[in-house]
Structure 1
Amino acid sequence: MHREHLEIVQSALRALSPAPESSSYRVPRMWVDEQPGAIAVDPVLWHLEQLGELLASPSADTAVDWHREAVVYNLFVRFGCAFDHDGDGRIAPEPLASGFRETGTLLKAIAMLPYIKKLGANTIYLLPLTTIGEKERKGTLGSPYAVQDPLRLDPMLAEPALGLQPETLLKAFIEAAHLQGMHVVLEFVFRTASVDSRWIGEHPEWFYWLKESVPPESYGPPHFQQDTLNEIYSLVDRHEMEGLPAPSESYRNQFARRPVTAEPQKEGGYRGIDADGEACRIASAFSDWPPDDRQPAWTDVTYLRMHTPPEFDYIAYNTIRMYDAALTNPETHNTGLWEEISGIIPRFQREYGIDGAMMDMGHALPAALKKEIVTRARKTRPDFVFWDENFDPTPAIRDEGFNAVFGSFPFVVSDIIYIRGLLNFLNKTGVALPFFGTGENHNTPRVPFRYGEQEAGRSFSTFIFTLSAVLPAVPFIHSGMEILEWRPVNLGLNFNDEDRAMWPPETLPLFSAASFDWERTNSLQPLNGYVKKVLDVRSRHLDIILSGEQGSLVIPIVSDDAIFALKRTAGGRSLLFIGNSAIDNPRTGYIEFKKESAALDDLLTGTICMVENHRLELTLKPGQCMLFLLPDEN
C-alpha cells in the first residue's frame, strides 16, 4: 500500500526540534490508553511515535464488498480532533508558539486512527474538508457547508509547524487508514456554496441574484396563503409536479434579471449588475421545505442554480426538493455547472484515493445529476461506495446506485412506540437499503442532550447503540458519542426555539473553535469499552444481522412496555435483543417461548438466563441490554 505521503509527514516532523513548551503540551489519554484525563507529551516526538507505529503496520487486507460490513466513525476533523493542549481553558483558533494547533487537524486525525480502530470502527466518514467562505461567516471559523472552493482544502486543517499543505496531510491520512484496513468516505456538498464562492466570478449564471435594493432583513422564504399551501402539499403528496404554484409576483421581482455580470469587491464577495443595469447581490439560502418553514435565512451559503429557465430564477420551495416537472427536460439543465459538479469526485479519487462519498442534501439534487455523479465515479472505481443524505431507504434510491442512506432512525429514537412502528414497517416491507444505525448525528440533538447529561443520558445511549448494532443497518458512531458528549454540534433538526436561544452560532462547534470533554468524559465512565464489546458480538453474527428480508425483524411481546425485544432471523438462526428503554429505573418483564425450558447465554456478559415454563423473566437496569443466540424452535 502507498506510504509516501506518510513518509513526507514523518520527514517534516523529524526536521523539527522538540517544542519549547513540550512540558505543557497535553493530549487526551483516551487517544493513548482509552482512559479519561490528559498526559503531557512533546508534540513532535509524540506524533513521530504515532506515525512510526502506523508505518510499521503490515498492509491490511480489505474486502471487495467492505461496505456491507462497514462500521462508521463520523468525524468532523476541526472539532473531533481538537484539544486544549496548553490547558488554559480555551481552544485557540490561532496556532500555539510551537506551530501546532489546538483546533483539529489532519495530523491529529492520523494519530487518532488506532484509537478509532480499537472502538471497532472500520470506516471513517469525514464531514466536509474544503475551504470555507470568508463573507458572512457563522461563528469564529465558519461553516464547513459554506464551500468557497470544492477542490481546495481548508488551511486550518494543516499544522503550521510542518510547513505542509492540508492536501498532503489528507493523502497521508488516507494512506494511514488503508494501512489499518480502514476505508475513508468524504462528504461532498453539491447543492450549496458560500456567498463568496470562487465560482461566482467565473460563472455568475450558476447562482441566484437578488436585487441590491431588497433590504437584507426583509428577505426570506416566500409567504403563501393557506389555500395555496394546501394545494402545494396536496400536489406533492400525489407526486403531481406539473405547474406547482409559484410565489407571488412581488416576491419573484426581488430577483435580478439575467444575464448578470459579477465583479469582486475589496471587502470580499461579489457585486453584480443585471440585464436592466440594476445592482444585485448573491441571494443567501434558507430552509425551503416545507414551504411554510419560517427559519431565518442562512446568511453564509447560497443555492446553486441547477436549471436555466428564466421563470425559475428565484429561490423558493421547489429550489430544493420538489422540482416542477418542467425542469426534467434536459434542455433546462445548467450543463456547465452539472459538468463541473460531476467531475469533483473523480478528482478526489485520483488525488487522494478515497473509498466513498456521502452526498450532502442528496434528496435535493436532480435525479439526472445524481445519476451522472454516480456513473462517473464508478467508471473510475467500480467498487466506490455512495451514501445518500436521504431519509427513506427505498428501492428507487438503491437503483440509483447508492449503498446506504442516512435514514430516519435518529428521528424516532426519542419514543419507543415510534421505534416499534418503524421496525414493524420494515419487517413487513423488507429493508431495501441499509440506513445509519444511530441515535444522533451532527445535525440532531445528541442522546445525552435529549435525556440529560448524567446517568439517564448514558443509559439511553447504551440502549440505542446496542439496538442499532443488531439492525440491518450501518453502525454509526457519531464522534464523541463514545465519551457521552452532550453539547450539540449544530441546531439542524429536532431543536426548538429555546434551544436556538441558548446555543447561538458562536457557541456551536460546527461554526466555532471547540473540543469534546476528552478529559472528564462528562464525568461518567465512557462507553468506548462497551461499544467495542457490542461490535465484536455483531461481527460474529453478521449473517443474521445483515439480513433485511421480510420477516427478519420480529418484535416479540414483553410484559413490560419499557422493555423492548427484537428477534432477528436468517438462515434458520435467530438472535434476540432485549433492552430496557427506561432511563431512570430498573424494569422487570417476561417474554414467552415455544420451548418449555432452555438455558440462554447473554453474549454481552456471559450470564446464563433460564427459560422456565415457557417464560424468560428478566430484571434489567436502566439502559441495560442483552443478546441471546436462540435455540431452534424459538
Structure 2
Amino acid sequence: MKYLKCLLETLEKQEELHHKDIYNYVIPSSWNTYGYKSAHVLKSKEIIVNPYSFYNYTLHSMFEKNEDQSEKLKDKNENWLKNTSIYAMNIRAHSAWDHDRDEHVSQNNLYHMHDNGTFLKSMILLPFLKRMGINTILLSSVAKLGKTSTHHKYPVKEAVYDFQSVDENLADSLVDMNAKEQCATFVEACHYMGMRVIFEYCPGKLARENVYITKHPEWFYWIQKDYLKDYHAPECSALPKNVIPHTYALKDFYQNEDVKSHIAQFRKYPKTDSFSTLKEIEDAYDITVAPFIVDQINANIPCDDDTTLFRLYEKPSSHIPKHISTEIPYMSEDTIRNDLHPGKQPIQELWDMICENITWMKDNFHIDGIFLQKPYLLSEKLQKQICKAAKRNHKDFVMIVEENTIENCSFWIEKGFDAISGNSGYESSDIWNRSFQMFAYRLKQNPCPVFAAGEYTDARRICCMDGGKKLSVLLHVMSHFLPNAIPFMLNGAECMETQPLQLSEYGDSKYLYTVSKDDPRYLKQAYLDSYAFDYRNSDLNALASILEPAEKLRQKYVWNCTPDHCIPVWFSSPKDEALGFTYIKDDSALMVVANTNIHNVISLQIHTENLFTELPFSLNDVHQILSTEDPYVHDVSFDTFRNIPLEFQPGEVKFLLFQGKIEKN
C-alpha cells in the first residue's frame, strides 16, 4: 500500500497549502459519500467545494470507515472469477465533470485541473460501486493513446501509443504523482476495498502513431502515402456482403481487380531509426503506416484512420495464390485474420514483446487478470503463449477472452483461458423474442463462465430501448442470479445512460440521437468525446438500492454453488414471459423469479414438482423476502396442486426464501 499512503500524505500537504484558497469548483452532490460539510449546496444537485479539502476528507474517510480487505484477496483461490461482479470502467469518462461550469469537459479547466476523469476522482466513487455488489473493476484505455486523424476528441480505446505506458491525462494535477504512480494507487485502493482489477489488452491492434514504428518498422504494413485518401478495404463483386475470409472465399477474392490494385499500393518498410514521428517518416519516404481495415469482405465499413495492425509473421500464409506476389507484406481481410490464416516464421521479438507487456502490467500494478480483446487478430499459437505468460507464477491470475460464440467455450478452455465475454450484451435485452431466457437457461451446463450483460461498449445502451429503466433493472438484477454467469455492468449504467459509449460501425446510428439537441451530450459518445455521465439523475440509486440486498443473497446462495444445487424454475408453459432459478444452501433455498414482460402485470403459476424432488430438507415455510417493486416481506402460499400462484408487476423480480429442516437418518 505504499502508493496509497503516499497519496494520502500528499493530499494532506496540498490541503494545508490551499485551505484558504477560494474555488468555484463544483461536483455532483452524489459524490459526497461521506458528508463533507464545508460545501455550498446548489439547486443543480451540485456542491461547491475546495477540491483539495474535499478529496483529502473523502479519501481519508473512505479508508478509515472501510476495513482493509486486501489480505483476503491474496488467498490463492483460482475460482474467484466465478464469484465476481464486474464493472467496466474507462477512467477518462467515469469521473468526468464540468467542475468550472464553462459548459466544457476539458483536460485543463479554469483552475488548471482536470474536468475529464482521473484515477483520483474515480477512487472516491468506489464505495458506490461496491454498494452495487461490484467486486471487480475492468479498466480500459489506461495506456497512452495515439491520435492521427479522427474527427472525435479521442481515438478509439484500441489506439494504443505504447503498451508499457499510462495516459498522463488520467493523472490528477491535485497531487504530485505521475500517471503510472496514480494508476498503481488506484489499483491499491481497489484492493483495499476488496475489489480486484482486470486490465483490457488488445495486442493485435494499436495506433498508427505509436512508439514502435521508429524502432521496428518491420512490425507493420506500409503503403504509398498518396493512396491514403483512397484507401479502403478491397471489395470483391463475386462475393456477397459481410463474408468471413475463410479459405473457400479467397479464390474469388484474389481474382478481383480491386484487390490486386489494393495490394499494389503496399511498400517495403523503411529505415526509421533517425526519426521520432510518423509525419517525419511520411515526409522523408512518401509512405505511411497502413490503417486498419475490417476483417469481413464487402462489409462496406470505412477504415479506422487512427489504428493499424501488427504484422506477426515474416511470411504470409501459404493459402495465397501463386499469381499474387508476397514479397512486400500487405494488409487485406484475410491477412489480418491470423487465427484463420497464421503465417510462417513468427517475428519472435514482436511476440515476446506482446507477452512481456502482461508481465510489465503484473509487476507494476499487481493486477488480477487480463481481458484479451480481438483475439482473431492473433494466431492460436500466440493466444496460447499470451495465456501461458500471464499465468506464469500466478495460477490465480485470470484470463478472459472476447468471444461472442458460446459454443467456442471449450476451445478457449483448452488454450488456458478462464471465461469468455459471450454475446449477451448484444442479444439478451431482446426479451420479446425470448433471447434473454434462451441465454440464461443454457448457462448451467456451460464449460466456463460467461459475461451476463445487457449492453456492451460497442452496442446500444439498455435504457434507450423499449422499457428503458425498468428493463435495465430487470437485466442487471437477474444477471446476478444466472448459473455460471459473471454479472457485467458498463460505465454509466447506474446513471441510466442512453447514449452509446462507442457505437460500432455495425450498430444502428439512430442510437446516437437518444438525447435532445440542447443536451451537451447530443451526438457524443463517452469513450470518444468529452463527456460526463449524468450523476444528477434522479434514478441514480435505482440499481444500487436493489443490488445492495440482492448481492448479499447472491454471496450466500450463488457463490460457489455447484450445478447440482441450481434448479431452473418451471412455469405452466414454455411461452410464459418469465425466468427463474432456485439455489439450495443447506436447510434453505433461494428462488429468484422475473416477469420478463416489462409493460404488463402478469400472473404466474410457479410449478414446484421438480424443486421438491431436489430439496435436501423438509419444507417449513416460504416467504417473499425481496422484490424490485415491493419492499415488504410476505408469506407465500401454495395452491391445491402445491404450485405457487403469484402476481408480478411489469419487469418485477421476486426473491422467495424456502426454509426447512434437514432430517437426520
Indicate if the aligned counterparts of 1:131 and 1:149 stay in contact, CA closer than 8 A. Answer: yes
**Letter of the aligned partner of 2:293 in structure 1?**
F
Indicate if the aligned counterparts of 1:287 and 1:297 stay in contact, CA closer than 8 A. Answer: yes
Indicate if the aligned counterparts of 1:151 and 1:344 stay in contact, CA closer than 8 A. Answer: yes
Which of 511, 525, 541 is the equivalent residue of 2:557?
Answer: 541
Indicate if the aligned counterparts of 1:420 and 1:555 stay in contact, CA closer than 8 A. Answer: no
Shift of 1:446: 1.2
**CA–CA separation in structure 1 for the residues paired with 2:620 and 2:639:** 7
Shift of 1:437: 1.4
User: How big is the alpha-carbon RMSD for the aligned residues of Structure 1 and Structure 2?
Assistant: 3.4
**CA–CA separation in structure 1 for the residues paired with 2:399 and 2:333:** 26
User: 1:106 maps to what in 2?
Assistant: 119
User: 2:602 maps to what in 1?
Assistant: 587
Corresponding residue SS for 1:89? coil
**CA–CA separation in structure 2 for the residues paired with 1:532 and 1:494:** 35
Mapped pair 1:306 → 2:315: no
Corresponding residue SS for 1:152? coil
- % identical aligned pairs: 21
Indicate if the aligned counterparts of 2:233 and 2:332 stay in contact, CA closer than 8 A. Answer: yes
**CA–CA separation in structure 2 for the residues paired with 1:233 and 1:507:** 31
Shift of 1:603: 3.6
For residues 352-372 of structure 1, give each alpha carbon's deviation from its aligned partner in whole angstroms, at most 9, with x where no partner exists. 111111112124322211211
Which of 441, 449, 456 is the equivalent residue of 2:464?
Answer: 449
User: 1:179 maps to what in 2?
Assistant: 192
Mapped pair 1:261 → 2:271: yes
Shift of 1:80: 0.7
Indicate if the aligned counterparts of 2:239 and 2:252 stay in contact, CA closer than 8 A. Answer: no
**Letter of the aligned partner of 1:199 in structure 2?**
Y
CA, structure 1 residues 173+501, in 2 after alignment: closer, same or farther (shift >3 Å)? closer
Alignment of 1:607-618 (within 5 A): 607-614=634-641, 615-618=643-646
**Letter of the aligned partner of 1:458 in structure 2?**
K
User: 2:290 maps to what in 1?
Assistant: 283
User: 2:647 maps to what in 1?
Assistant: 619
User: 2:323 maps to what in 1?
Assistant: none
Q: TM-score, normalised by structure 1?
A: 0.87
Mapped pair 1:335 → 2:348: yes
Indicate if the aligned counterparts of 2:500 and 2:512 stay in contact, CA closer than 8 A. Answer: no
CA, structure 1 residues 77+264, in 2 after alignment: closer, same or farther (shift >3 Å)? farther
Indicate if the aligned counterparts of 2:338 and 2:376 stay in contact, CA closer than 8 A. Answer: no
Indicate if the aligned counterparts of 1:598 and 1:612 stay in contact, CA closer than 8 A. Answer: no
CA, structure 1 residues 564+9, in 2 after alignment: closer, same or farther (shift >3 Å)? same
Indicate if the aligned counterparts of 1:73 and 1:476 stay in contact, CA closer than 8 A. Answer: yes
Shift of 1:200: 0.6
Which of 7, 12, 15 is the equivalent residue of 1:14?
Answer: 12
Corresponding residue SS for 2:164? strand
Indicate if the aligned counterparts of 2:118 and 2:172 stay in contact, CA closer than 8 A. Answer: yes
Alignment of 1:388-427 (within 5 A): 388-393=401-406, 394-416=409-431, 417-427=434-444
Indicate if the aligned counterparts of 2:82 and 2:559 stay in contact, CA closer than 8 A. Answer: no
CA, structure 1 residues 502+68, in 2 after alignment: closer, same or farther (shift >3 Å)? closer
**CA–CA separation in structure 2 for the residues paired with 1:562 and 1:87:** 50
**CA–CA separation in structure 2 for the residues paired with 1:611 and 1:586:** 20
Indicate if the aligned counterparts of 2:500 and 2:511 stay in contact, CA closer than 8 A. Answer: no
Indicate if the aligned counterparts of 1:547 and 1:570 stay in contact, CA closer than 8 A. Answer: no
Shift of 1:540: 1.3
CA, structure 1 residues 38+373, in 2 after alignment: closer, same or farther (shift >3 Å)? same
Mapped pair 1:197 → 2:210: yes
Alignment of 1:103-252 (within 5 A): 103-216=116-229, 218-227=230-239, 235=246, 246=254, 248=256, 249-252=259-262
**Letter of the aligned partner of 2:500 in structure 1?**
P
User: 2:40 maps to what in 1?
Assistant: none
Mapped pair 1:59 → 2:68: yes
Which of 513, 516, 520 is the equivalent residue of 2:533?
Answer: 516
**CA–CA separation in structure 2 for the residues paired with 1:136 and 1:388:** 29
CA, structure 1 residues 548+432, in 2 after alignment: closer, same or farther (shift >3 Å)? farther
CA, structure 1 residues 229+76, in 2 after alignment: closer, same or farther (shift >3 Å)? closer
User: 1:30 maps to what in 2?
Assistant: 30
**Letter of the aligned partner of 1:309 in structure 2?**
K
Alignment of 1:563-602 (within 5 A): 563-568=577-582, 575-594=590-609, 600-602=622-624
**CA–CA separation in structure 1 for the residues paired with 2:288 and 2:399:** 35
Shift of 1:325: 4.7
**CA–CA separation in structure 1 for the residues paired with 2:198 and 2:659:** 39
Alignment of 1:305-324 (within 5 A): 305-309=311-315, 311=326, 313-321=329-337, 323-324=339-340
Segments of 5+ residues of structure 2 without an aligned counterpart are: 36-43, 317-325, 516-520, 614-618, 628-632, 661-665
**CA–CA separation in structure 2 for the residues paired with 1:558 and 1:234:** 46
User: 1:487 maps to what in 2?
Assistant: 499
User: 1:293 maps to what in 2?
Assistant: 299
Shift of 1:334: 2.0
**CA–CA separation in structure 2 for the residues paired with 1:433 and 1:466:** 21
Corresponding residue SS for 2:148? coil
**Letter of the aligned partner of 2:551 in structure 1?**
L
**CA–CA separation in structure 2 for the residues paired with 1:294 and 1:501:** 23
Indicate if the aligned counterparts of 1:288 and 1:320 stay in contact, CA closer than 8 A. Answer: yes
**CA–CA separation in structure 1 for the residues paired with 2:507 and 2:358:** 33
CA, structure 1 residues 481+505, in 2 after alignment: closer, same or farther (shift >3 Å)? closer
**CA–CA separation in structure 2 for the residues paired with 1:499 and 1:114:** 31
For residues 108-148 of structure 1, give each alpha carbon's deviation from its aligned partner in whole angstroms, at most 9, with x where no partner exists. 12222222222221111111211111321441233332111
**Letter of the aligned partner of 2:291 in structure 1?**
S
User: 1:47 maps to what in 2?
Assistant: 55
**CA–CA separation in structure 2 for the residues paired with 1:369 and 1:621:** 51
Indicate if the aligned counterparts of 2:499 and 2:514 stay in contact, CA closer than 8 A. Answer: no
Indicate if the aligned counterparts of 1:138 and 1:505 stay in contact, CA closer than 8 A. Answer: no
Corresponding residue SS for 1:10? helix
Which of 472, 478, 481 is the equivalent residue of 2:490?
Answer: 478
**CA–CA separation in structure 2 for the residues paired with 1:160 and 1:33:** 22
CA, structure 1 residues 283+437, in 2 after alignment: closer, same or farther (shift >3 Å)? same
Indicate if the aligned counterparts of 2:623 and 2:656 stay in contact, CA closer than 8 A. Answer: yes
User: 1:466 maps to what in 2?
Assistant: 477
Indicate if the aligned counterparts of 2:499 and 2:511 stay in contact, CA closer than 8 A. Answer: no
Shift of 1:204: 0.9
**CA–CA separation in structure 2 for the residues paired with 1:462 and 1:500:** 22
Indicate if the aligned counterparts of 1:222 and 1:247 stay in contact, CA closer than 8 A. Answer: no
**CA–CA separation in structure 2 for the residues paired with 1:241 and 1:538:** 48
CA, structure 1 residues 157+227, in 2 after alignment: closer, same or farther (shift >3 Å)? closer
**Letter of the aligned partner of 1:211 in structure 2?**
Q
**Letter of the aligned partner of 1:83 in structure 2?**
W
**CA–CA separation in structure 1 for the residues paired with 2:145 and 2:108:** 16
**CA–CA separation in structure 1 for the residues paired with 2:25 and 2:352:** 47
Indicate if the aligned counterparts of 2:144 and 2:162 stay in contact, CA closer than 8 A. Answer: yes
Indicate if the aligned counterparts of 2:314 and 2:346 stay in contact, CA closer than 8 A. Answer: yes
Q: TM-score, normalised by structure 2?
A: 0.83
**CA–CA separation in structure 2 for the residues paired with 1:52 and 1:226:** 66
**CA–CA separation in structure 2 for the residues paired with 1:247 and 1:197:** 34
Which of 3, 6, 16 is the equivalent residue of 1:5?
Answer: 3
**Letter of the aligned partner of 1:407 in structure 2?**
G
Indicate if the aligned counterparts of 1:200 and 1:262 stay in contact, CA closer than 8 A. Answer: yes
Shift of 1:269: 3.8
User: 1:85 maps to what in 2?
Assistant: 99
**CA–CA separation in structure 2 for the residues paired with 1:415 and 1:486:** 16
Segments of 5+ residues of structure 1 without an aligned counterpart are: none
